[in-house]
Copies of this chain bind each other. A is one copy, B any other.
Amino acid sequence: MAGMGPGVDRIRRFKLTGTGAYLPRTVVDSDDLDRTHGREAGTSRRQFGIDRRHYAAPDETSTMMAVVAAEEALDDAGRAPDQLDAIIGACGVMEQPIPGTAPMVQARLGLGGSGIPAYDINATCLSFVPALETALAGMAMQGWQRVLIFASDIASAALDHEDPEASAIFGDGAAAVIVEAGEAHALLASRIETYGDHVNLCRLDAGGTRLRPHEDLAGFLAASRFRMDGPALFRATARRFPAFLSRLLERAGITPADIGTVIPHQASAPALEHLRRALNIPADRVVDLFASLGNRIASSMPHALHVARRDGRLGPGTCSLLVGSSAGISLGGAVIRW
Contacts and interface: CB of A to CB of B under 8 A. Distances in A.
A3 to B, nearest CB: 13
Contact of A97 (B115, B130, B204): B204
B111 A196 contact: yes
A98 B170 CA distance: 15
Given A103-B330, A104-B196, A119 B123 contact: yes
A17 B271 CA distance: 41
A112 B199 contact: yes
A20 interface: no
A120 interface: yes
Interface of A: 9, 11-12, 61-62, 87, 89, 91-108, 111-124, 126-127, 130, 133-134, 136-138, 140-142, 153-154, 157-158, 190-199, 202-214, 217, 220-221, 224, 226, 240, 244, 326-330
A209 B62 contact: yes
A134 B117 CA distance: 15
- Chain A binding surface, main DSSP class: mixed
B117 A193 contact: yes
18 contacts: A89-B122, A91-B209, A93-B97, A94-B209, A96-B205, A100-B122, A100-B328, A101-B208, A103-B196, A104-B199, A111-B196, A114-B194, A115-B193, A115-B194, A118-B196, A119-B130, A120-B122, A158-B212
A209 B112 contact: no
A62 B221 contact: no
A224 B113 CA distance: 28
A93 B206 CA distance: 12
B209 A99 contact: no
Contacts of A101: 208
Given A97-B94, A100-B124, A117 B194 contact: yes
Nearest to A247: B115
A134 B123 CA distance: 14
Nearest to A99: B327
A174 to B, nearest CB: 11
A294 to B, nearest CB: 16
A53 to B, nearest CB: 15
Contacts of A124: 98-100
Contact of A213 (B93, B134, B221): B221
